[in-house]
Structure 1
Amino acid sequence: MSSRAEAGQSALQQKQLGEEDNQNRPRESVLENNGYLLQETVGTGAFSNVKRAYSKTANQTVAIKIISKQKATKDVLNKFLPREIDLVRGLRHTNLIRFFECIETTMRFYIVMEYAENGSLLQLIRKEKSLSEERAKSYFKQLIDAVEYIHSVGVVHRDIKCENIVFDQRFTLKLIDFGFARGNMKPLVSGEKMKPILSKTFCGSHAYASPEILKSIPYQPQLSDIWAVGVVLYTMVFGRLPFANENNVSLLIKQVSAGPKFPKDRGASDNCKDLILKILRPVNLRISVEEMRNHAWLNEPHSNCDDSEFEKKMKLDPTLEENPDEHIRKLIHCKFCKENKDLQCTTVQKLYNRKKAGPKKF
């Protein structure tokens, strides 16, 4: 190769590197100009990734979902993403991930939201194989709180699954990813009856999809959300999906129509199984969130914690009385909670509520 050709090729390579730098630089400068310092990647998708970041303005860690306009489909850019941003702006609930702001450039969307330090429910189940009924019950109560709230304001999620459930620093459950969500879905009043608004968009994961979605018939999305929370409950308790043939829809429909089977190698109480069966059944028989709340399994007393032993620990460690935050940080729990490493035990909540009412707020 001649020296002139080599020089030309070198100049071309430098130009390409310069173009790559220019493509990367706006992302950093746009976020930096808005007070965000990007850190590591915590999640990836087909056309997006999620990075942890530090907000200098708010002095806290946040998560930033970065969506590439070049990789995303037209439906995502023109339909689902604008709808998602519009919906999450107006949602406020303890068990929903909090939205902070959206930044748009010519190349990308940046959705800034609350950071969930303790990962997803899917990661937790993979790590621990399955959850105790008491722990599953605590998370399930929070999940149906979130679902009941969004339904009350006319929003349906349509993609509830273990991957879209995360935990913050205190292991409070947060429902995330409203990419397939839709608003203005409150049933209409027709005479003395409520007429539901049906959905014809068949979205979400097959493993969590209700029979009506799998059969591609118009469906009431609130009831399909309820089906999905039933799949989540089953997965928490048994450590596996109730219906696993995602790639064969015909076989999956047969499994779903037959109802869930309970594995013999993992026990569960009769009340827990009964609730699962009442959720994972045909749409005309499916239990409502209100009926779930009144179900025996969700109203059983907490049997795994020894309150008296917990109170002894409080007396032995004076810092717990003086500083309940120190208790939260040290995770000094009763035997059950010590194993599970979370803050959902009722005895911990008793301490939390008692101290919250005292002179020190936290």
Structure 2
Amino acid sequence: MYTEKVLRGMGYKMEAMLGEGSYSKVKLAHSQKHKSQVAIKVVDRKKAPHDFVHKFLPRELALLRTVRHENIVRVYEFIEVCNGRLYIVMEAAATDLLQKVQEGNGVPADVARAMFSQIVNAVSYLHHNGIVHRDLKCENILLTADNQVRLTDFGFGRFAAGYPDLSQTYCGSAAYAPPEVLLGVPYDPRKYDVWSLGVILYVMVTGCMPFDDSNVAALPLIQRKALVYPDDVAVEESVRVIVSLLLQFSPSTRPSIKQVSEQSWLQQSRGDGINRTG
């Protein structure tokens, strides 16, 4: 196969398929150069929609060339070949947060706090540098073997200064999207990310989604109602306070990522050995 021949010639030995979409796939490989396993995202520009090729992909590549943070997936190199394919070589992870949650029906409170602190750390770095993600979800939180977070998938990312620099593109996953995005009104993309963090934290501590997204049109009405927790799951009050804060229906009352990072529950993880920058 042409793809594998090109990669073999560059010192990459393909090992397994990690995931596959309609115009991209992610493969696990061993790199002679980096002397470790890597994940290679293969994008087929010929199969991809025009908007993706000319708008979202260039943004993603620009962002990946810019970001450098311990809790954001490291990109080793970009390989472009004449058949229209693009290869993005990244560090490989052991699992992702969704799998972690499904394995244990949630994540223990102390582990959840350490992980969530790292996620907030990564998003703080992005927002500080004028970058928004707009697709934060459990599947896009990769984890190393020792539970270190690596935020990935910047397909809907963009440079944005925040309010009054508003976005209008409907993007991301409905289950993690705030009401203003679902309602189709111009939105502050930074507050989008903050809402998604609330969904992620809820999922981590309960093992289930906070809102029923089977009917997307009705989702904003559900999001406006008081948040309900499963009867059989004990969630400490300090965590409920943060989740409630993050999932404020009105973006104007939703906190900034800086305000999130200052929450006392997260401050407790400062002494856990996790490095924080940005």
Instruction: Give the TM bin, normalised by the shorter chain.
Output: over 0.9
How far 1:60 moved relative to its partner?
A: 1.7
Match of 1:252 in 2: 219
- Output the CA distance in 2 between the equivalents of 1:152 and 1:300: 22
The one-letter code of the counterpart of 2:173 is S
Q: Say if 2:252 is the partner of 1:270.
A: no
Match of 1:132 in 2: 108
- Output the CA distance in 2 between the equivalents of 1:300 and 1:101: 37
Match of 2:262 in 1: 294
Q: Specify which of 152, 168, 186 is matched with residue 161 of structure 2.
A: 186
Match of 1:261 in 2: 228
Check the 8 A contact 2:198/2:243 in 1, yes or no: yes
Q: Specify which of 190, 197, 200 is matched with residue 229 of structure 1.
A: 197
Structure 1 runs (4+) deviating above 3 angstroms are 299-302
Match of 1:142 in 2: 118
- Output the CA distance in 1 between the equivalents of 2:259 and 2:127: 15
Q: Deviations over 1:280-327 (max 9, x none)?
A: 01211112222223323223489xxxxxxxxxxxxxxxxxxxxxxxxx
The gaps in structure 2 that reach 5 residues or longer are none
Match of 2:206 in 1: 238
Q: Say if 2:90 is the partner of 1:113.
A: yes
3-state DSSP class of the match of 2:132? Answer: coil
Check the 8 A contact 1:259/1:280 in 2, yes or no: no
Normalising by the residue count of structure 1, what TM-score does the alignment of the two structures yield? Answer: 0.72
Q: Which has the higher helix share?
A: 1
- Output the CA distance in 1 between the equivalents of 2:146 and 2:5: 33
How far 1:259 moved relative to its partner?
A: 4.1
Query: Which protein is bigger by CA-based radius of gyration?
Result: 1
Q: Say if 2:175 is the partner of 1:175.
A: no
The alignment's C-alpha RMSD in Å is 1.9
How far 1:88 moved relative to its partner?
A: 0.4
State how many pairs are aligned.
Answer: 273
Normalising by the residue count of structure 2, what TM-score does the alignment of the two structures yield? Answer: 0.93
The gaps in structure 1 that reach 5 residues or longer are 1-23, 188-194, 303-344, 353-362
Higher relative contact order (CA closer than 8 Å, sequence separation 6+): 2
How far 1:69 moved relative to its partner?
A: 2.4
Match of 1:321 in 2: none
Q: Say if 2:169 is the partner of 1:201.
A: yes
Match of 1:31 in 2: 7
Match of 2:44 in 1: 68
Match of 2:21 in 1: 45
Q: Which has the higher strand share?
A: 2
The one-letter code of the counterpart of 2:222 is Q
3-state DSSP class of the match of 2:101? Answer: helix
- Output the CA distance in 2 between the equivalents of 1:82 and 1:162: 24
